[in-house]
């Protein structure tokens, strides 16, 4: 039951304050065309909005006095949701893709891993290059570091090193991120 009330409270906080819920004595009023009308009492501002057949919506309560606008609330809400959707569409979260190999990798297999990493970097993702050790191979960490440094050198035009080669148990890891254009 407590979770539901918190959820309702959160939804109420996200919605703008409209009409009678505006409890400030004075507000800065903006009309439908976007021009400032001046400072009015909240009661007078509500009356102007009612006469126009529209709603009084608080745009910003951070300024002194708070800024309110006369708009059609349904249309205003639709436009705000549309802007939020567009902003979300343009976001790209960089995910971490992994390229695994052994330190005794052949040249052709190495080129395949480079092409994989290049494809991930061009898509805007980060690349985690991992060299796996088995058994006594762990003694040859220097060869793995050389391999990862070679990989970083081969990809230097497309990527920058975010984390230098470091040992993590039976793995040697290096993280590359795409270069900013």
- Tell me how far apart the alpha carbons of residues 162 and 143 are, in angstroms, rounded to a whole number: 20
Domains and CATH numbers, the chain: 2-90 (3.10.20.80), 96-178 (3.30.110.10)
pLDDT, one tens digit per residue, over 45-102 is 888 888 888 888 888 888 888 898 898 888 888 988 898 888 888 776 778 999 999 9
Segment holding 39, helix H or strand E: strand 36-41
Q: CB neighbours (10 Å) of residue 14?
A: 6
Which DSSP state fits 133? -
Structure tokens given for 137: 């191979």
Residue 14 banded pLDDT, cuts 50, 70, 90: low
Query: 25 or 108: which carries more pLDDT confidence?
Result: 108
CA dist., res. 56 & res. 106, Å (int): 70
**Inter-CA distances, 3 with 116, 132, 147, Å:** 45, 46, 52
CA–CA separation, 22 and 56 (whole Å):
9
Q: What is the pLDDT of residues 86-144, one digit of tens each?
A: 888 877 677 899 999 999 999 999 999 999 999 999 988 999 999 999 989 889 899 99
Mean of pLDDT values over 159-168: 91
- Whole-structure pTM value: 0.52
Position 10 pLDDT exceeds 80: no
Q: Is 13 exposed, middle or buried (0-12, 13-18, 19+ CB in 10 A)?
A: exposed
Nearest to 25 by CA among 68, 55, 54: 68
């Amino acid at each position: 039951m407590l979770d539901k009330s918190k959820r309702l409270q959160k939804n109420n906080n996200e919605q703008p304050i409209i009409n009678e819920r505006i409890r400030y004595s004075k507000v800065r009023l903006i009309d439908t065309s976007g021009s400032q009308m001046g400072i009015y009492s909240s009661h007078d501002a509500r009356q102007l909005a009612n006469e126009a057949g529209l709603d009084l919506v608080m745009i910003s309560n951070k300024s002194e006095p708070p800024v309110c606008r006369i708009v059609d609330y349904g249309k205003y809400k639709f436009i705000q949701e549309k802007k939020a959707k567009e902003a979300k569409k343009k976001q790209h979260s960089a995910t971490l893709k992994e390229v695994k190999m052994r330190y005794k990798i052949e040249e052709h297999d190495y080129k395949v891993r480079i092409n994989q990493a290049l494809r991930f970097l061009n898509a805007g993702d980060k690349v985690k290059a991992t060299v796996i050790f088995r058994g006594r191979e762990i003694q040859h960490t220097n060869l793995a570091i050389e391999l990862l440094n070679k990989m970083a050198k081969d990809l230097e035009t497309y990527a920058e090193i975010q984390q230098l080669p470091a040992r993590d148990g039976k793995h040697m890891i290096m993280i590359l991120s795409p270069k900013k254009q």
